[in-house]
Amino acid sequence: MCDSNINPALKKGCTRHIKLQHILLTLITFTTFNTYAATTFNHQTCNNLLEGEANKVCHEALKGDTAAGYAMSRLFADPKNGPLVNLDYAYFWHIKLARLVLKENLTDSAYIDILYNTGVLYNDGLGTEKNLKKAFYWFSQAAEKGHALAMLQVALAYENGITVPKDIKQGLVWLNKAVDLQNPDAQIVMAQKYMLGKDIEENQTKAIELLNAAAENNSAKANFILGNFYLANASNAELTNLNKAINHFGNSCKLNFLLGCKRYYELDTQAKSSNNILNPEY
């Protein structure tokens, strides 16, 4: 997806990516995507796989054009491209572009995403061998450049001592930075700490505030947690909390959280049943 604040060069790369989706019918038929990619992706590979504009972008990417490299990294990683998706090739282009991003000190958000995504590939062993140390390196690079999800990954690494010495204080520093950027996942993690009094002083009020902020950012998980919280504090004398629980479970359901749907329909049915008993129609 193209960022509205992206520089002209990168917009050109985004445009190329859009064009690539319309060129899929002109691609040369191939079966090599069912096997591991070669350790190198060269000009002959471009010729074997792509035709027309896509072929041209591929060659430009190999020559070091960052916008073209971005287009190629998206081409092989985006699920929307169906049979073209190949994580080995996606890794090749991500690591190549990630190194260029650092070398040329590129700061557009789409390029910072590449740093983060490279960390994900190493972290999950996608297209390359799993390597948590390298994953932390790329998460750190993205975090230093303001990527909120990368900040959360760095925070969790310090908190749990993953590839780095365990450092709760440093973990909280990075977690707070991600929270300040309104990242819903970070808000949930911090809320859980306040709720349990883990690493920081227990504060239920701050926990609920953070969960509400994450819920407003369309976090299905935050809505579900809030639903459970209000349900646990609901009673016949406190119907307000029950209604809040139903509302939050409903919101999580709208955001495709299936367990939230289950809770919502169970509570909604019970509420309607109770209402019919209290207010029978004759």
Q: Which residues of 206-266 form beta strands (DSSP E)?
A: none
Give 194-253 pLDDT, tens digit per residue: 999 999 999 999 999 999 999 999 999 999 999 999 999 887 556 789 899 999 999 999
> Which H helix or E strand runs over 202?
none
Cα 183 from Cα 152, distance rounded (Å): 9
For the chain, give the mean pLDDT: 85
pLDDT of residue 237: 55
For the cut 70, the answer to whether the pLDDT of residue 26 exceeds it is no
pLDDT of residue 40: 74
CA end-to-end distance (rounded Å), the chain: 57
Give 152-180 pLDDT, tens digit per residue: 999 999 999 999 999 999 999 999 999 99
Give 238-277 pLDDT, tens digit per residue: 678 989 999 999 999 999 999 999 999 998 887 666 554 3
Say how many residues make up the chain.
Answer: 282
pLDDT of residue 151: 98
Q: Which residues contact 138 (CB under 8 A, 6 or more apart)?
A: 98, 115, 116, 118, 119, 122
pLDDT of residue 82: 84
How far does CA 233 lie from the centroid of its chain?
Answer: 32
DSSP-assigned letter for residue 25:
G
Percent pLDDT > 70 in the chain is 81
Overall average pLDDT of the 133-138 stretch: 98
CA torsion 238-217-150-205 (nearest 10°) is: -30
DSSP-assigned letter for residue 24:
G
Overall average pLDDT of the 172-196 stretch: 97
Overall average pLDDT of the 66-92 stretch: 92
Cα 54 from Cα 243, distance rounded (Å): 54
Percent pLDDT > 90 in the chain is 71
